[in-house]
Every structure is written in structure tokens, then in C-alpha cells.
Structure 1
């Protein structure tokens, strides 16, 4: 019998186990939200090759509560201690971005495999250091870019590879996140500080721009506007007003490796968000990939048309859903798909995909977008 891979999960507050995804509201809990509880725990529970061996949160009482809630025997409030635990094979990092670098480096120093949620790092230097350390240690280090394993995205990629569109000429992508109002609970105020590296718009840009590049190739040049339109938020728990500098709009015009022209807008809007949509126009047809909220929360639908016919849904074949039937739909599904890829890499020695080098590439892209906006010019990417 194959030995199960033992995961130590950092960021498993059980207060985030329920998320609101109805009535057009943002898919976040108002307090205690934990992506680890929402997605990683149910994903791992459904996979026969894994077990959750330990959980780690920032305080002893929350760590103990998480262990009780999830039926885990070991709990930690010091990530360094968990990284050194010989009964942990993989460290999963699902916390705020400022903590990624020390936690990932502690895991790599201990010789552990790593699953890190995006955005990967606070800056390019940290991303490069983590990627280099993973390569030096010879471990499997996976970046949690869920869109790359989404069944509809894989279906879209197959259609493109088969020549469904002919020559790809034009791409238009939009990602509208709801909830851009001037009030936030205390546990959401950190999103407004640029130095924390992970406001709503940056998170969405990471995932959706990576999905675009995954399907169609990387950018060779970009011209961008990165702006903060809502400059103050009121903390609803204290009544205090705070200045905001995290971007809530990222607008991109660019050119892809194959020559296709791209226009993209990732924006945080107040109400009635239409969600995510990517339109791809080729010499023979059109493909559209869309989600009513975002690909991490609501499954995408593929629409297609060839030779001028009306757009129609192209159902995604069941073979692209590789997770077991027990894996819940929604956030756990694509996280489970990523864990399956990580398991395959660990057991076979195959390269892990998406690896940390993809995180470095995404940081370079985001840095180029910011530089283009700051300098008011087109930036070429090598």
C-alpha cells in the first residue's frame, strides 16, 4: 500500500469554513476567513494519497481549535516547529502574503515539499530567492494557481491546440470583483495597504492574467494603468478612516508571444459585478471563457463559434475533472487538482507544474505593469 503524503497546513482557521457566494456579494467571510479551511481541508480529505498531519495558526488557542475542528492530532502556533516535524512531508502555506517568504523558506530549509498560495511573494527578490532555494533543495515546490487546472480552462487549451480558432488575433479579458465600497471590517483592512501585496485586485490579476498566459502564451510587451480609485476606507469595527493605496484597477494593453493583441481590465467595483470573462478571437472563430464570480469560486463555462455561427456552449468533458467524486465542487476542486499534480511529481520525480518559477514570471509581469503605469510608457518583457 502506498504511504500517504502528510501535509502540515499553515493557515487553517476554522472560522473561515463557510463562505457567502450568493446574491452577488464578494465570496469572503466577514471575519475569520481562511482559504485553507474553505479549500485545502476539504480537498485533502477527498484525496486518498494524502492526510492532514498537522495544522498551524498564529495562536495556541486557534491552532488547538483548528485541530479539533478538522480531526488532526498535531497543532502548532510556530511554523518553524511544524516545518521541522519529521511526521510532515509537505508544508502548505495559505496565509497573508507578507508571511509567505519566511514560512516557505523555513519549510525548504527543513527539506520539505511546499504548496504555496499565490500571490507568491511581496516582491520579485523574495520570489526569486524562494524559487532558487526550492531548486537547490531538490524538493517539489508548487504554486497554487488554480486556474491552470480548472476543467474548463484545460478544455479551452485543448480547443486552442487543436486549431479551433485558426490564427489567434485578439484577446479581451475582464475580471470584475464586487464590494468596492468605502467600508470594511477590521480583518479586511489589510487589503488596502499596498505593502501587504495582496489586495483583491492583485489577487484576481495574479490568477486571471496567469490563466491568459497559460492558455495563450506570455506577454512580450505591455502598456498599463494601475490605479487606486477608492482612496479611503472606514473600519466598521472602530469607525476610523484609513488611507488606501492598494490598486483597485489594473488596465493592460499588450502583445503576446504569438502576436495576438490583448486588452484586459481587472477591477474592484461597488455592485453588480459580472465576474470573469475572456474572449479570444481567431481567423476562424471565437472562444469565450466565463464565470459569474471568479474561476476560483464558480465553475467556468466555455462558449464557442466557428465560421460565423452563433456562440454556443461547448460542454467541458468529464475527463478534465480528475479529482475523485468525493471532492466538493467550488474552491476545493481545483485545489485538489493541484494536490494531485504535486503528488505525481513527488512520487515519480516529474517536474511540478505550476512550480515556483511561474511565480517569478508573474512577479516580473506585475512589476512591468506597475513600471509602465508609473513611467507612462510601453515595457518590453524578455
Structure 2
């Protein structure tokens, strides 16, 4: 098969930028893909990115979403920009009948997400939502252990994570926009959405009518932190949550109970960013991650307390070898998502994204 030809919006020339670490590494090496075009805010910045990443001279440079969307050589249009721009960046491609990849969250609002999904359905397009946690070998292994009955009947699922931000009641430059709900990217939408999707993929969806979400903003006014670590004297308003909780039951038999807590602030010193426990009638699985969520990297600890044998077993996951582990951490599961699309394997689309957006709206309704 001919490679899928990619056009990317948001791949800058900066070495540490998100698209550079998350999208480019696998796309540049995969036999299933060819990057044929880039689009940034100016032609100069687009050309600089092409040069910085040693892309072929034939790579087309654009500064217009409409022009990129109209390019007949682009098979898949990729949106790697901030959440509040996803709608305006993706819409020209959807209208032009392009297959589209958009990072999570799909849009700044659920209404925008629904409009994007509806347009994709109307035009019979393939869409990808960047919920890459379900591609993680660690998450897939958890799902396998559950689905094969290795844990017995599942009775409870517990997840606790801490996002290492808002220390000293301050927001660094990188996460300052997390304070403003209008941007669409914050602890609830980005981290909460990624983590919950990974959990539901592995253990099953929530049982409708059985659950209670809660979002709390206990730091409504915060300092900002300069690059030198200094704190602003002024306090700035924040209207996004720093405590996110959910309790309920899962839509499986038996109706397992589910407890979720994600918070900001300092982590317990020396502890992992998140702990995921699944209790079944044959024992309990305990999985730890360095990050607050499983979407970024493999588990740092993966153990099963086997009650039948009376011993703890270390679980090993297949990461796919150096082909994958040599990629930047940010690019491993996103790379796996691209390959799932190319190979016709299951992955999340815009309809899934709308479902997750609707759940997040239920959290917003509880904000205090």
C-alpha cells in the first residue's frame, strides 16, 4: 500500500515543542506515512520547521488552513494546536472532505465537538481523536487480564492521581492557560479526559445513572511564576478545577464499583504520579505510573497480588522493542495510534470524543 500522506498544522521548528516530540518521531520513521505538507501561522515559520526537521524539499509550506485542506496530496490532516483553536483549524479540512486527526480535547466546547463529529459523519470521513492512552501496552495488558478472567470477577476499580502543578499556589508559564476555562485545555479536560478514557477502555464504561462526578476549584486565585521561579505579587482568577472526583458503578457484570480522584498540587514525596488498583475475586492488580495518567508512558510498577497462590506476581508488558522505546516518551502511544489507523485496528474517533466531552460537562455542572 502507498504511504498515507500527512499534512500537519502546528509542527513548529522548536526542538521541545509538543508536535516535535509526540507526532514527528514515529511519522518520520513509519513506512505507513509520508509527511507532505506543513501549516503554521506564517510561511516563514512553516519553512523553518521543514528545514529544522530535515523534511524533504518537496514538503509543501502553507500559512492557511484552507490551502492545506485543499491540497489533493494530503490524505490525513493533523491538528496539533491548542484546544481553543481545534475547531477553526479542523473545520476547513472537514468541509473539504479530508480525514482528520485532532488531539484531545476535540474542541473547546462540547457544542463545537458535536458539530465537528456531525460534519465528519455527513461526509463519511475517517476521524481520529488523540486519546492515545488506550494504545498504551500497559493499559492494553490491564484490559487483557480483565477480559481473560485472570483477576476473576471484577468488584472494584480505584484510581488516584496527582498532577504536579499549582505548587506554591502558582501557575508556571507552561500551564497558565489551564486557569481559563474558555481555552478548553485544563486539568479536567486534558488530564481527566485522557485518564478516564484509558480506564473505561480497560474496565468498561460507566453504568448510566449510577455515578456522581464532582469538580472543585479550591484555588480560585493564583500567582503566576516566572521562568526564574519568582512569583507575581498579583493574584489572577482561575475558573477551572484542581480537585476532580467520580464515584459510581461500571456497566459490567457484576456491577463493579468505581472510585476516581485526580488532584493538583505537590505529590507525596517519592510516590508515583498515579496508582490504579483493580480488585477481583482472584486477587488485586496494582499499577503505578510516573505521570498522573497512563497515556504518557509505560507503568513503572505492575503487580498482581494472586490470592489463589498467596504471592505477588510482577506483570511484564511487551513494549514492542527499541523501535518504540527509543522514541520520545510523548511519541510512543501517539505513534501506536497512528499505526492503528494505518492498519485498520480499533482506535478512538470523533464520536467517542463527543461522549467524553458530554461526561466532562457533567463535572462542570458541579463546579464549586
TM-score under structure 1 normalisation? 0.85
* Aligned 8 A contact 1:140 1:342 in 2: no
Residues of 1 paired with 2:330 and 2:43: CA distance?
27
How many residues are paired up? Answer: 350
* Aligned 8 A contact 1:176 1:268 in 2: yes
Q: Encode CA deviations 1:151-208: one digit per residue, 9 max, x unaligned.
A: 1111111111110111111111012110213334545321110111111343111111
1:191 to 178, 185, 198: 178
Give the equivalent residue in structure 2 for 1:233.
Answer: 222
Give the equivalent residue in structure 1 for 2:350.
Answer: 356
1:99 to 85, 99, 118: 85
Residues of 1 paired with 2:160 and 2:296: CA distance?
16
Give the equivalent residue in structure 1 for 2:290.
Answer: 292
Residues of 1 paired with 2:28 and 2:316: CA distance?
28
Q: Encode CA deviations 1:1-20: one digit per residue, 9 max, x unaligned.
A: x32111111111232x33xx
| Shift, 1:329, TM fit | 5.0
2:242 to 245, 248, 264: 248
SS at 1:218's partner residue? coil
Give the equivalent residue in structure 2 for 1:303.
Answer: 303
TM-score under structure 2 normalisation? 0.88
Give the equivalent residue in structure 2 for 1:42.
Answer: 25
Q: Encode CA deviations 1:344-366: one digit per residue, 9 max, x unaligned.
A: 23xxxx7x521111101111211
Give unpaired runs (5+ residues) of structure 1: 19-33, 376-382
Residues of 2 paired with 1:126 and 1:323: CA distance?
39
Residues of 1 paired with 2:317 and 2:174: CA distance?
37
2:116 to 130, 136, 145: 130
- Aligned-pair Cα RMSD in Å: 2.3
Correspondence 1:64 to 2:60: no
* Aligned 8 A contact 1:97 1:197 in 2: yes
Give the equivalent residue in structure 1 for 2:275.
Answer: 277
C-alpha distance 260-69 of structure 1, shift in aligned 2 (>3 A):
same
| Shift, 1:53, TM fit | 1.3
Residues of 2 paired with 1:326 and 1:302: CA distance?
18
C-alpha distance 370-95 of structure 1, shift in aligned 2 (>3 A):
same
Residues of 2 paired with 1:162 and 1:89: CA distance?
38
Residues of 2 paired with 1:323 and 1:94: CA distance?
26
